[in-house]
A = this chain, B = another copy of it.
Amino acid sequence: MVQEQSRSEKTRELIINSARKVFLEKGYAETSTRNIADVAGITQPAMYHHFNDKEAVYLEVVNRVGKDVREVIGQGVLKPRLQPLNRLDEITKNIFDIHPKGVGIFIHESYAHLSPAGQRKLGMLYRMYYLDPLTGYFNLPEVNLRKEVLPDEAADILISSLNAMFSSFYRVGGSSISSRDKGKLSLKLVLFGIAEEQD
């Protein structure tokens, strides 16, 4: 049952998709409502006919992006042919493909600039679309977490630590290895550490 889209709905979608590009690239604080309007090809005040304020646009974008993230995590967790490590490698690769400048600039750095209500909502969306699906991976029987770390903590640490390596000043593994292998190496470092375990 495909519903015909009104002109207003089309413009609203256009704004969301334009905002998605800019918010993912620059984060909430560095994105102006004029940036979004320019990409959408409308004037800045026209945006306010479709959304109450900048925060409402952002949270709708997080909702859209989050659904994509949940989808790629869900796909990855259920791939039975792959070893667990390769499955997680595919998951994290897909997450960072969605976030060209990392997850932190899109989610974590935006948090402080929202209203209290917006902060609560962002925390909820982050948990629902990023952390809970990843917790599903760490709950798999074939994944062995260290006993001090709970599955939902592991999900948060994984995203935050990978993001830190992703946007680091330096580059892991030297300049000779491909970015694909760097992702896999970063993942191994988060999972198994940067040092050899002592006896």
Contact = CB atoms under 8 A, between A and B. Distances in A.
A151 to B, nearest CB: 10
A154 B189 CA distance: 10
A143 B195 contact: yes
Contacts of A148: 173, 185, 188-189
Contact of A170 (B30, B152, B168): B152
A168 B157 contact: yes
A141 to B, nearest CB: 13
A170 B194 contact: no
Contact of A85 (B30, B104, B112, B198): B198
A17 to B, nearest CB: 25
A29, A104, A154, A192: most-surrounded residue (chain B CB, <10 A): A192
Interface of A: 29-30, 85, 104, 108-109, 112, 123, 126, 131, 143-146, 148-150, 152-154, 156-158, 160-161, 163-165, 167-174, 185, 188-198
Given A30-B112, A161-B190, 7 more contacts: A146-B193, A146-B195, A153-B170, A154-B195, A157-B189, A192-B197, A197-B197
